[in-house]
Amino acid sequence: MELNILVICYLIGSVTFIIGLKMLSHPESARRGNLIAAAGMAISIFGTIFLYEEDGLKLQNYPWIFAALIIGSILGTLAAKRVKMTAMPEMVSLFNGMGGACAALISILEFDHIYSLIKDGRDSDHSILLIIFAGLIIGTISFAGSMVAWAKLNGRIKDFSFQGQHIMNLLIFGVIICLSGYSIYSGDLQIHTLFYVVFALSIIYGLFFVLPIGGADMPVVISLLNSFTGVAAAFGGFLYNNPVMLTGGILVGSAGTILTILMCKAMNRPLSNVLIGSFGGSKSSAASKDQGAYKEISISDSAVVMAYAKKVMIVPGYGLAVAQAQHVCHELEKLLSDKGVEVNYAIHPVAGRMPGHMNVLLAEADVDYSSLLEMEDANDVFPQTDVVLVLGANDVVNPAAKTDPSSPIYGMPVLDVELAKLVIINKRSMNPGYAGIENELFFQPKSSMLFGDAKDVLQKLVSEIKTL
């Protein structure tokens, strides 16, 4: 009877994961979808704790289990409540890394169990060993890579690469595969040592895998590592014959993979180029060009041209998130709309530091989802737009992606803001963006710079427009 109830708990968990993921596709239902999936997870967890049994024995060590649940819940809640929107990509990387570490630990624990049977003279189960090694390798790479991504986003480490690093990475990966294959099919007692050699090499590979990848590609890397964690969790579901772990892992793995492909498509680059090309790194041929002079615009002049425009397009970027200016940006939008100005937002797929960063940022300020235009739709509107206000975006509006074959971002689809009648660019300074590339847009005749913190600038614009 208890087993049947546990199966129902797992079924509920699997269904809620699917429903929750579907609801995450729209901001209005995303919060409810998240809560529904969390409720399904809670049912699955407590169902396992109280109802699971094997050979007539239930789970033991309840004090340890609930201590871990309580500590993890407290830490997770505090982290989620305190994290700033600018640090959200870092938290996603950190949490994703913890998922990969859990998958790797499951493989380590189950390997020790299998190895004890091999030492007793029993034949090894090749399929189980295959799942264990796969979970170990993928989970460890995800953990190590996510920690590097977290540290790079946090500013703790810089891009790092050396001559022939990609070749060395391939060699390390080849050794991992060969050692794993030998261990799975040999049944030799030496596989205990080889298992931990594979574990160590997977850590090294995970570190070197992400270290050379530049900042502009970090959203793609986060998405890819997220899919790795999902796949590793799915292998854990195979090990324990647990449908919830399997379903959750497959959903995360497939969703992360699809998102990675879509983001690469948005950048007009194959995934292999992202991983091998180290795009967005420290070297840039475009940065050394003499671009000429730029011109500035005042707050009052900006307010006038925006208040008397017919169409205004706002292009949000990481600078908006840094300044926590999404709410005052929405206030500016409403103020202009009340004056009869048509206001929309142009959203580039890789703006910010993680997939969907700008969508989440604006949803937090209750910006109407219908006013958010995807890149293709926004590019169709720019020629009819009177004023474009670029808020902290840089590489995603750089015309060099279309005109300069020597630029590292050449071929990447960007927002065609230069087609508008006037472009106002808000930045703190003239420093290059996250990819380390100078932006040709700043020096074009129709572009004007509006220097300052995004929140402070937007507040002054709101005050100025109210007086008109």
Asked whether residue 352 falls in the same domain as residue 227, the answer is no
Asked whether residue 54 falls in the same domain as residue 191, the answer is no
* pLDDT > 80? residue 155: no
Tens of pLDDT, residue by residue over 288-312, are 455 668 899 999 999 999 999 999 9
Asked whether residue 125 falls in the same domain as residue 241, the answer is yes
Q: What is the pLDDT of residue 92?
A: 87
Between 404 and 284, the more confident residue is 404
Whether 395 sits among the annotated catalytic residues: the reply is: yes
- CATH number of the domain at 448, please: 3.40.50.1220
Asked whether residue 130 falls in the same domain as residue 260, the answer is yes
Asked whether residue 262 falls in the same domain as residue 130, the answer is yes
Q: What is the DSSP string of 352-391?
A: SSSTTHHHHHHHHTT--GGGEEEHHHHHHHGGG-SEEEEE
- Placement of tokens 């020096």 in the chain: 443
Asked whether residue 229 falls in the same domain as residue 196, the answer is yes
Asked whether residue 411 falls in the same domain as residue 321, the answer is yes
Distance of CA 436 to the CA centre of its chain: 20
* pLDDT > 60? residue 172: yes
* pLDDT > 50? residue 153: yes
pLDDT category at 55 given cuts 50, 70, 90 is confident
Domain boundary among 82, 106, 125: 82
Q: What is the mean pLDDT of residues 374-398?
A: 92
Domain hosting 58: range is 1-82
pLDDT category at 281 given cuts 50, 70, 90 is very low
Q: What is the mean pLDDT of residues 354-367?
A: 83
Give the active site residue among 159, 188, 380, 395: 395
Domain boundary among 49, 82, 115: 82
Domain boundary among 244, 267, 283: 283
**Residue 403 Cα distances to 371, 400, 413, angstroms:** 29, 5, 11
Distance, in Å, from the CA atom of 221 to the CA atom of 216, rounded to the nearest integer, reads 10
Asked whether residue 34 falls in the same domain as residue 153, the answer is no
- Lowest model confidence (mean pLDDT) among 107-111, 191-195, 410-414, 431-435: 431-435
* pLDDT > 80? residue 41: yes
- Lowest model confidence (mean pLDDT) among 157-166, 283-292, 337-346, 443-452: 283-292
Asked whether residue 356 falls in the same domain as residue 450, the answer is yes
Asked whether residue 207 falls in the same domain as residue 331, the answer is no
Asked whether residue 144 falls in the same domain as residue 22, the answer is no
Q: What is the mean pLDDT of the chain?
A: 87
Q: What is the pLDDT of residue 297?
A: 94
Tens of pLDDT, residue by residue over 82-137, are 887 667 788 889 999 999 999 999 999 999 888 887 777 776 678 899 999 999 99
Asked whether residue 3 falls in the same domain as residue 103, the answer is no
Number of domain units in the chain:
3
Q: What is the pLDDT of residue 287?
A: 44
% of the chain at pLDDT higher than 70: 91
Walk across the sheet containing 447-451 and list its strands.
372-374, 342-347, 311-316, 387-391, 422-427, 447-451
